[in-house]
Structure 1
Amino acid sequence: MKKLFFAALAVFAFANINAQDTSFGLSAGYISNSFDGGDSASGFSVAAFAEIDLAESFSVQPELGYSNSSVDDATYNLFNVNALVKYNVTEELGILAGPQIGFASGDIPDALDELFGDDFSSMNLQLAIGASYDITENIFVQARYGFQLNEHVDGIGAVNTINGGVGYRF
């Protein structure tokens, strides 16, 4: 976990030094996790991000995020390192896509770990797609859907997410 944090920090620092147009910001919102078997959990998410312009219509958006959701008082937390590509369809509307790498913790992953031991993986590797809309130069709304590509346990344990919220660019 420390290595991922420092790698993400290095990306943020490198982007700040070398990119012509780089902005930083925070986002927060609602998250809904859909588990195999039909259960779902809802809660909140927060993230810090950089938006690095590569061309007039393309940018890269690395993020460090945290989400907390619960179902029947059982928690499912994700610590995420995301690397999204953004294509601006118009000045206000952008399409997002890219990997979201999360590490699960909380009651649900702990129970799976206890039950399956070495067959359990806390990693949640997702492919996310979504959209963002700039309300002002600094304030935006976004929504995305993440498809989990791996499983926490072979044959069971995939968690897909719907995330929506607001953000502020500095």
Structure 2
Amino acid sequence: MKKTILSLALLAGLTTAANAQTTRFGVKAGANYTTFSGDNVDNAKYKFGAVGGLAANIGLSESLSIQPELLYSQKGAEIKGTDFKFKLNYIEVPIMFRYTLSDGKGPFLQAGPQVGYLAKVKLSDGDGNEIKLDNDAYQKLELGYVAAVGYQLESGLSIEGRFNGGINSVGKDDGANDQNRNRVFSVQLGYMFGGK
């Protein structure tokens, strides 16, 4: 009898959890405001870049969800006193825990880890001419963290302000930028299909 009651309680719990879970998919686009942090960054200043990609939101309860994303993100820095721009283009996968204040819509907070793959490094001058750099001198994988605050509309539209920082350096040991880490502020617009 105890086993039957326990089995029924477990089944009821799983059914409730399954009903509470919803998965939605969406798109994101925005702008990065990015520079370097760490040692020897006195000549680095902020520059703008683009960010965009895909997102999924996996509901765990009415207010709590997990949001993995696949983003293309332009990072780097501008060099003070010159028109040179150092550009790092990443493919990133943040996995964030998201807390929404009101049943999946309204204000939300999210935070979590992020892994990035460096797709391309380039340096350009004020005329837009590209100066070739050795991609092998830079770390291919970037480990980082993300924190964001935003607002989700019932229609599926959202806006958020986000900060993400790199944990490991941009450059390899004893190479260029070996003490520099990415620091990025971004504003992103999103749309989740299927409403809130």
Q: Same fold (TM over 0.5)?
A: yes
Pick the aligned partner of 2:57 from 51, 66, 71: 51
Q: Which AA in structure 2 matches 1:111?
A: L
TM-score normalised according to structure 1 size? 0.77
Which amino acid in the other structure matches residue 99 of structure 1? P
Call closer, same or farther: CA 1:74–1:152 in 2, change over 3 Å: closer
Q: Which stretch has the larger CA shift, 50-59 or 150-159?
A: 150-159
Does residue 76 in structure 1 map to residue 88 in structure 2? yes
Task: Tell whether 2:36 aligns with 1:35.
Answer: yes
In the alignment, what sits opposite 1:101?
115
Q: Which residues of 2 match residues 60-139 of structure 1 at below 5 A?
A: 60-69=66-75, 71=78, 72-90=84-102, 91-104=105-118, 105-107=120-122, 111=133, 113=135, 117=137, 120-139=138-157
Match of 2:188 in 1: 165
SS of structure 2 residue aligned to 1:158: strand
Query: SS of 1:92's equivalent?
Result: strand
The one-letter amino acid paired with 1:61 is: Q
Maintained 8 Å contact 2:157/2:190: yes
- Structure 1 residues 147 and 69 mapped into 2: Cα distance closer, same or farther (>3 Å)? closer
Q: TM-score, normalised by structure 2?
A: 0.67
Query: d(CA) in 2 for partners of 1:101 and 1:69?
Result: 14
Structure 2 residue runs of 5 or longer lacking an equivalent are 1-18, 79-83, 124-131
Select the structure of larger CA radius of gyration: 2
Structure-2 separation of matches of 1:33 and 1:39: 8
> In the alignment, which of 142, 147, 166 is matched to residue 148 of structure 1?
166
Instruction: Quote the sequence identity (%).
Output: 26
- How far has the Cα of 1:73 moved from its partner? 4.7
Cα deviation, residue 150, structure 1: 1.0
Q: Which amino acid aligns with 1:89?
A: L
- How far residue 82 of structure 1 moved from its aligned partner, in angstroms, is 1.2
Q: Distance in 2 between matches of 1:113 and 1:50?
A: 31
Residues in 1 aligned to 2:72 and 2:20: alpha-carbon distance in whole angstroms: 26
Unaligned regions of 5+ residues in structure 1, if any?
Answer: 1-17
Q: Count residues in correspondence.
A: 148
Aligned Cα RMSD in Å? 2.3
